[in-house]
Structure 1
Amino acid sequence: MRTCMLWCGRGGLPLRSAALLLLIPPFLLALQLLVVGPRLPRAAGVGVEEREGEVAFSVISIEPERSSRQRGALSRRPDPAEEGEQEEEEEEEVVVEDGKRMEGARAYEDENEMHLRQVGPRPLELQQWAADEPSFSAELDRIITYLTRPQLNCSRVLSPGLAQASQPPAASPVWLLCAEEWLLPAADTPCVAYSFSMDGGDADFLKTVSGLECEVHTFDPSNSNASGGHLGNSLASNHGNGGVASQHKMWLEWRAPRKRKHKTRGNLGSVSQTLADIMAALGHHTVHFLYVDLLSAEWRVFQSWIESGTLQSVHHLVATVHLQWAGFEVGGTKEEVLRYWFSVLQGLQASGLKLVHSSAGEGHSVLKQTVANAHSSYTLSWANMRH
């Protein structure tokens, strides 16, 4: 060192330059650790020890981060009776050991699980315009095409007023229920049917589901003898009385309350309630047959079912859609209303409903405009293919 100092001081490299040369190797080593080090996967975090000659790996989730309540809502629709309790619960964290799913955790999802997640609660997706620019005729043609083209062919059906399945009748009835065996309630499963109607048009529907020994509930806010003898708007089930209809002075609500409260069975406290709350009060997890004629409120009700995931609990749906005017709380230009209607129908389809039958009503008025190739209303029959 003394020799170097003497040499450096006698015309060799300056002392400062020599010191810098000595610092270069450690600097390069530190730089390499900073750049390459973070890219190396650590196996210790997943319970895998690195061994010489083996490649360490880590399990990475590509699922976007979201709150525990959102994860639960996407995987399955909670039972309405338990909804208030589940809002405070959190889903278990996923812990992975040796690349395997631990008990009680969902590290991976098979195809069916992912499929079920996609049909849970979802915002209504507004469809693109039928043409390059808003067009009444283009939007109307698109929605009429949907309303008049069944998507599911059933070899056996239940016709109005008949409880025995048969081949599709030659004459087109008002509605049809698909009676394929895999779409009907199992013999050991209690059958449940609801009907929301104020004009008595559900008489044949009630006769059919009563003949199937279903537990039947009818809802009509104008019925003075509602609730099957029960007072006010209270709800009572008729378990064990297959075919006997219970009447309720109640109607469907599409506006979900801001803060949901746990509903006690048998009493909801209001004459207008969501379908999920009515089912919870009656103690039902499934409605096998649902009939609705909501006098133009159907569009917002359908939207609420799509967005809440309620349709997962409905197996068959018979509904009348009205086109004379936009409907309750639906606004916009005629083109915007038609696009909204079509978006709702697409949302029903995305939720699992396939159109089985379509029957045109009277009149040719669409949004207060006379249209020769369209009708003022259509009664549609759907089957839920997700059951």
Structure 2
Amino acid sequence: MSVPIVLVGGLAATAAERIADELADAGTAVVHHDLCRVTEGVVRRRLRHRGEDSWTVLELGHGCVSCTLREDLLPLVEQLSGRADVSRIVLHLDPRVEPEPICWALDRSRVQAVVTAVDHETWLDDATGDEAMYERGLGGSADDERTVAQVAVGQAEFADVLVLTGPAGRLDAVFRRLAPTALRVPLGGTEWLSGLPANARRGRPDSAHGPLLRGQPPLDREDGFELLLFSERRPFHPERFHACIDVLLDGVVRTRGRVWLASRPDVALWLESAGGGLQVGHAGPWLAAIDDWDGIDDDRRAMAALNWDPYYGDRGQEIVVLTDGADHAEITATLRGALVTDAELAAGLSTWDSYRDPFLFPDREDELR
């Protein structure tokens, strides 16, 4: 039987350490990589098991989180998994680490739970700000451009259990929309580990072409938080869309979605924002753009079939925005204003190919956020 793995992390580092301590029973091996000096190529690894507590200094060829994962964490997990005296592995993550890429690298069937420690007093400010991780001394590599908001939101959104350091207050409303399948529990005790719901994520990432709403989050407004769903079939004009994306930042906790640009008829883009940080990247081809569907998972085929349009195929805009005070009417009107007009739609692909696409030039700061 595979040894189960529990990931414990979060920006609330002291609380995360306490959770890891509480999980450290006789058969549990607790692994922690201290990444304070990772950009210098130095990582301190702590291993606790059956009363033993050892530190090892690792010197990496290139200082980054991914190197630590590849060169030490994964081999160590396999080594511990082969030991008869190890019945569970707890990965106590450094606060700068997000759990999703760790779960990608692990055998996800072994992930028992992902636990995120949340500071009830600071999380919302972190999740809606624009401070860079390196400004807080938490850069994961020399070129880490993540914001604190992106990390705070990513850690919470991917969790099966959110452990709060104090009264939830407004956080209860935001987490019911951001991470609706996650348990929300107070700090102290680990009884929640045996009470995860059947639809717990357990390390499984979302597909870029899957449903954007996980579980059954409430769609009404509560304590200022509300979900906005933007769905349209026609493409965005690339320049107008680039000019309007700031509307997805102010008063917004989280944006996630698939985007179709007129200048890119074959490729879906994935848009993601948290607080003052926003990223746009490739999400692979639209099914309408490929002839061979071998290897396409059944869920995506089914979803495409339900929404297939004779002209557009599966192309379209699907964006979910979790707001905290932003005007939904303004966001919707702004995004609709970036769609191609009737005249532009009638002009077709030959004209769309000539549109200047500011997302094509990542080396130009004025052309790509």
| Bigger Rg over Cα | 1
The structure with the greater share of residues assigned to strand is 2
What TM-score results when the alignment is normalised by the length of structure 2?
A: 0.28
